[in-house]
Amino acid sequence: MDKEISERPKWDNKVQYLLTCIGFAVGLGNVWRFPYLCQTYGGGAFLIPYLIALVLEGLPLLHMELAIGQRLRLGSVGVWNSISPYMGGVGVASMMVSFLVGMFYNMILAWILWYFFHSFQNPLPWRDCPVNLNHTAYISECEKSSSVNYFWYRETLNITPNIQTSGSLEWWLVLCLASAWCFVYIGFVRGIETIGKAIYATVTFPYLVLTIFLIRALTLPGAADGLVYLFTPNWDTLKNPEVWLDAATQIFFSLSLAFGGLIAFSSYNAQKNNCERDALIVGCVNSFTSIYASIPIFAILGFKANENYNTCQNWNILQLTNAFNIGDENITVENYQDWFNQLNATDPSEVESLDLKTCDLHTFLEQSASGTGLAFIVFTEAVINMPGSQVWAVLFFIMLFCLGLSSMFGNLQGVLTPLMDLHLIPTWMPKEIFTGLICLAAFTISLIFTLGSGNYWLEIFNNYIGSMPLLIVAFFEIITVVYIYGINRFNDDIEWMTGRRPNIYWQATWRFISPLMLLVVFVAYVVMQAEKSPTYSAWNPDYVYFPLAEVLPYPGWVVAICGLLSAIPVISIPLVALYRFICFLKNYIKTRHNPNPYANDKTKKFYQVF
């Protein structure tokens, strides 16, 4: 048993390690956040701030995390503790953020599983509105919005009209959440031993599916419109500072920095390993995946916009045909304008009364979304119109599930490795039970997200935990390594590990550029959050302007919780430093009164273990 403790587990081979890091970095955000940002911020032009952020902020931080984990061979808490006991709080903050993010992230996986389970029906359940009890009409909530919206908000989430109404635990979501956690457990059960095997499938499969989708999507009508719209650069957007801020935050969260997971993974490496090349590989693959994923996504969105446009036009045609009793199919999309002009000239009042819609392809293209909206509303609508919808739906949801699962492994490893390094696991407990306990605890707490108001809570967790605390942690990480550990010492370590001293690019970015960028991004982020009053969009069928979302302010107690969620992980940094300082003072006072030359060593070693 003792041999196992002193022998650190390690990766079977280099490929496993790289795939795991790539899997952790490449997640759902690459598929549903990056394409949306690309489209909102002027298409091809967005790539410029994105790549600049990658080069100046993403790669240096990534390299630093991989190097420090590999050198010190400890998880996040151990690493920061051994650099300086006062900075141990950084590790604790990382661990807490990892755990909290893992909780809500798995809820998204549960939703993906729910849609996956429902993709094995013909027709797909989100295609048609259900009929009311009298069989006289469709359910009004569904008719007013759309069948995909209804399926997502009512049949999946059963969402309440506001966050104060909690509703009850939705049993089907509890089932899906339990199965998501079982999947996570089965991959995570023995730490990197099992993760290393699982990721062969979960990391490679999404690329396969993306390629299949790419080939399929490019053959759909309207795909070209979507792609042109996505990639047409609009250089004016570069003048907007929000674009640069979003690019910086996107690259930061996309690479999953400051979670402690990357440090944990690299700590299982052999020390003589080229971490510089690893960092470049992981960073570049992550960015490449984002760009590669946006091509089929936007081709499919272009197809959907095209379908909507055709439906709109055909509706207009039908109205004219019926009102003027013109022969069936005499008015087509091509001659519509001629017919319209002719009819308008002869009978303008009649044409007026028909209330014809203005069909503009551009308006339909702009109706994109990010996040869960993209996957569960926009994409599901597009899939209905593709021949063989079930196959595409199944493939899509498996891909999303794999992407999310490999990120979950990283999150949980960022919790497990520090706990193991701190020797907080009782020696009698086998690792399998401990990982099971972590999964069980996370499952129990994340039952909040299965309530009727669960989606609102998930948004809160996403906005307040997965953002600001990470920026703060990353800032402290880089300051600790560069100024407390010492950049020269760090350079020596890297030279020892890789055989080459880091060049001027790494030096410049580590010392000045990256910390400065992080600080600027953090301040800008805080300023922007402070300007916006905390509101959220609620789905309320009784709202006057339904199906538009009702924008409600957060109640006071919810705002307090948001503040707590942001503050608690971060507060551990000063708390731990304070605690260490107090211990140091106590020790100092003790030695002043009892000069015992041997007491120093013993007490110092005791505190260092913690």
Partner 1 sequence: MLDKILFLLCLASALADERCMPDTPHGFQVRLSIKTALGDEAYVWNENEMFLFRASLAFAMRNHMNGQQFEVSNIIVCNETMRVSFWFIVTSPLDTSQLIDQENVEAAIRQSRNRINSAFLLTDKTLEFVDILPTLATLYTHPTPPWLIVFGVVMGAVGAGIIIMLVSSVVQKKRKTNGKPQDKDDDEETRVKTVENGDAHDGVHNMSFSEDERFTKM
* Contact map string, positions 61 to 90, toward partner 1, x by CB under 8 A: -----------xx--------x-xx-----
Exposure of 113 in the CB half-sphere (CA atoms within 13 A): 21
- Asked if 136 interacts with partner 1 (CB under 8 A), we say yes
Is there a contact between 250 and 401 (Cβ–Cβ < 8 Å)? Answer: no
> Between 305 and 398, whose beta carbon lies closer to partner 1?
398
Site size toward partner 1 (CB under 8 A) is 48
Q: Single out the residue of 13, 68, 30 nearest to residue 262, CA to CA.
A: 68
Is there a contact between 543 and 260 (Cβ–Cβ < 8 Å)? Answer: no
Residues 6 or more apart from 311 whose CB is under 8 A from it? none
25 is in an annotated binding site: yes
Contact segment (CB under 8 A) with partner 1 among 40-48, 188-196, 296-304, 419-427 equals 188-196
Q: Which residue has the tokens 């009409």?
A: 137
Among 10, 51, 55, 138, interactor with partner 1 by CB under 8 A: 138
Is the alpha carbon torsion for 403, 269, 197, 181 positive or negative?
negative
Contact segment (CB under 8 A) with partner 1 among 35-43, 52-60, 237-245, 322-330 equals 322-330
308 is in an annotated binding site: no
Q: Which residue has the tokens 């970095």?
A: 25
HEC assignment per residue over 263-280: HHHHHCCCCCCCHHHHHH
> Between 189 and 521, whose beta carbon lies closer to partner 1?
189
DSSP three-state, residue 351: helix
Contact segment (CB under 8 A) with partner 1 among 36-44, 199-207, 325-333, 551-559 equals 325-333
Considering only residues 202 through 221, tell me which ones interact with partner 1, judged by CB under 8 A: none
Distance in Å, CB of 289 to partner 1, minimum: 26
Considering only residues 266 through 285, tell me which ones interact with partner 1, judged by CB under 8 A: 271
DSSP assignment, residue 554?
Answer: P
Residues 70, 76, 80: CA angle, nearest 5 degrees: 90
Contact segment (CB under 8 A) with partner 1 among 238-246, 273-281, 317-325, 366-374 equals 317-325
Token representation of residue 362: 């551009």
**330 phi/psi in degrees, rounded to 5:** -75, -35
What is the Cα–Cα distance from 293 to 564, expressed in whole angstroms? 35
Is there a contact between 576 and 86 (Cβ–Cβ < 8 Å)? Answer: yes
What is the Cα–Cα distance from 275 to 266, expressed in whole angstroms? 9
What is the Cα–Cα distance from 605 to 435, expressed in whole angstroms? 28
Distance in Å, CB of 200 to partner 1, minimum: 15
What is the Cα–Cα distance from 118 to 103, expressed in whole angstroms? 24
Contact segment (CB under 8 A) with partner 1 among 98-106, 185-193, 414-422, 537-545 equals 185-193
Token representation of residue 455: 């989606």
Specify the DSSP element, H or E, that contains 569.
helix 556-593
453 is in an annotated binding site: no
> Between 125 and 371, whose beta carbon lies closer to partner 1?
125
Distance in Å, CB of 102 to partner 1, minimum: 19
Among 12, 169, 600, 606, interactor with partner 1 by CB under 8 A: 600
Distance in Å, CB of 135 to partner 1, minimum: 6
Considering only residues 551 through 590, tell me which ones interact with partner 1, judged by CB under 8 A: 584
Distance in Å, CB of 416 to partner 1, minimum: 16
* Contact map string, positions 91 to 130, toward partner 1, x by CB under 8 A: -----------------------x-xxx-xx---x--x-x
> Between 329 and 542, whose beta carbon lies closer to partner 1?
329
**What dihedral do alpha carbons 72, 75, 80, 85 form, nearest 10°?**
-100
Q: Which residues are annotated as a binding site?
A: 23, 25-26, 30, 254, 286, 403, 407
| Binding-site residue positions for Na(+) | 23, 25-26, 30, 254, 286, 403, 407
Q: Which residues bind partner 1 (CB under 8 A)?
A: 2-3, 6, 72-73, 82, 84-85, 114, 116-118, 120-121, 125, 128, 130-131, 135-138, 175-176, 179, 182-183, 185-186, 189-190, 194, 271, 321-322, 325-329, 430, 432, 584, 600-601, 604-605, 608
